[in-house]
Amino acid sequence: MAELTLTTFDWVPELPRGFVRDLRVRWALEEAGLPYRVASVPFGDRKPEHFAHQPFGQVPWLTDGDLSIFESGAILLHLGQLSAALIPPDPRGRSEATEWVFAALNSVEMASLPWALLKFTGNASDTPGWKFLDDFLKLRLKHMEAALAGREWLAGSFSVADILMSDVLRLVDRFDGLAEYSACRDYVARATARPAFVKARADQMAHFAAADGRTG
Amino acid sequence: MTIIITAFERSPDGGMGLARDTRVRWALEEVRQPYGVRLVSFRAMKEPAHLALHPFGQIPTYEEGDLALFETGSIVFHLAERHAGLLPDDADARARAITWVFAALNTVEPPILELVTAKIFEGDRPWTKERLPLVEDRVRERLKQLSARLGRADWLDGGFSAGDLMMVSVLLRLKPSGLLNEYPNLAAYLARGEARPAYKRAFDAQLAVNTGKLPGG
């Protein structure tokens, strides 16, 4: 198998640490037990080489031999082809995992990211704009609560869909947005108790902390 | 096996083609699969029968024998994987095309949706006037990067793929804003997408529903 290389920033400020999206890819790689290498690009000065791999100047991206892909959803579906630990091998499980991958990124995160951004910037005040985003997220969470009440994982067994959905919900939880959604909360707790998540998170924290040492 | 999708009984956009069933119709037309449509009312979308198909109570859904799918992205992905026409044969090129599907849905669409909802639902309230330029700048940032990547190419990575279908569909939401005119290569990209016969058939089919002129009675 070609060598897998995950690229992330060399350093980020304290606040996003533990939530940078390379964590999703690290987590999947750890779940699958696939060997990989981590490479860095400058956070501050994003060069043409960076945009050649990631046209939006973001991270992460993954190279697999000659192939270079970005978008955490695409990377996780790609890794899913390499390991049954990431996508159930039966057709039904595979369909379910795929639809929940898209649901996490295009239905739930679509609502949670603008919500979290306002929380993050301290603009979650009593305005109609905030209320609109808050209602949008609550609508999604209400449906997720129902979906998660009856199951341990989204597609039968644990899959990349759970990595993405729990990571999306984890950011909401960080700002106490899951207080009234116990099934969502339990689900996040279940997912983040997995050894692969614990290692992925610790590795990300250590990666950025090491850069503090180099610059400080 | 018959394919059945769901669509709005009456789309909120009145047939502009921005409801997400258009994306699925377009994919079905590109891969030349016949399909039927079940129209659902806003009330029916929130009832148990539809919620069993779609946990968020939305359209479109996709049924084919025992298989039931929700999420536009997953339906288009399913069609692209099983039929020729939306993904290249080469494995690496396929992975890159799928990357563009996600880039459309998870990187480009979020700020666009924020802009559209700010304009439609929030009108000219004072706080919207304050926020709108910020959201517009976030959209411009993405368009600038997308424009730089597309350059002079016809499509995002080689031939037309599911990635282009989704990116064009997402950009279509921006048409009324005029923002795309600031990026001529993206405006031309959009026009190329709209000129595809499969898109035209999909657009006409949803328009017929929304103007009450159902084809074939």
**Mutation choice for B interface testing from A102, A148, A154, A160 by most B CBs within 10 A:** A102
- Cα separation values, A103 from A121, B55, B148, B204, Å: 26, 10, 29, 28
| A178 touches B at CB < 8 Å | no
B123-151 pLDDT, tens per residue? 556 666 777 888 899 999 999 999 999 99
- Cα separation values, B118 from A134, B111, B122, Å: 14, 10, 5
DSSP-derived letter for residue A38 is E
The answer to whether residues A64 and A35 touch, using CB atoms and an 8 Å cutoff, is no
Contact A103 B70 (CB under 8 A): yes
With beta carbons under 8 A apart, name residues in chain B contacting A102: 71-74, 77, 105
Cβ atoms within 10 Å of A51's Cβ, excluding its own: 15
Q: Could you tell me how many residues make up chain B?
A: 217
Q: Which of A213, A164, A123 is nearest to B74 (CA)?
A: A164
Q: Which of B98, B121, B145 sits opposite A74 (nearest CB)?
A: B98
Contact A56 B107 (CB under 8 A): yes
Contact B72 A143 (CB under 8 A): no
Rounded to an integer, the average pLDDT of B173-196 is 96
Contact B103 A143 (CB under 8 A): no
With beta carbons under 8 A apart, name residues in chain B contacting A78: 95, 98
With beta carbons under 8 A apart, name residues in chain A contacting B128: 129
Contact B109 A69 (CB under 8 A): no
pLDDT tier at B57, thresholds 50, 70, 90:
very high
Burial class (CB in 10 A: 0-12, 13-18, 19+), A81: exposed
Could you give the angle at the alpha carbon of B50 between the alpha carbons of B47 and B53, nearest 5°?
Answer: 145
Query: pLDDT at residue A116 above 80?
Result: yes
**Mutation choice for B interface testing from A71, A112, A125 by most B CBs within 10 A:** A71
Minimal Cα–Cα distance from A53 to chain B, Å?
Answer: 10
A41-89 pLDDT, tens per residue? 999 999 999 999 999 999 999 999 999 999 999 999 999 999 999 999 8
What is the side-by-side order of every strand in the sheet holding A61-64? A36-41, A4-9, A61-64, A67-70
| A212 touches B at CB < 8 Å | no
A90-101 pLDDT, tens per residue? 989 999 999 999
Query: pLDDT at residue A141 above 60?
Result: yes
| A51 touches B at CB < 8 Å | yes
**Percent of chain B surpassing pLDDT 70:** 94
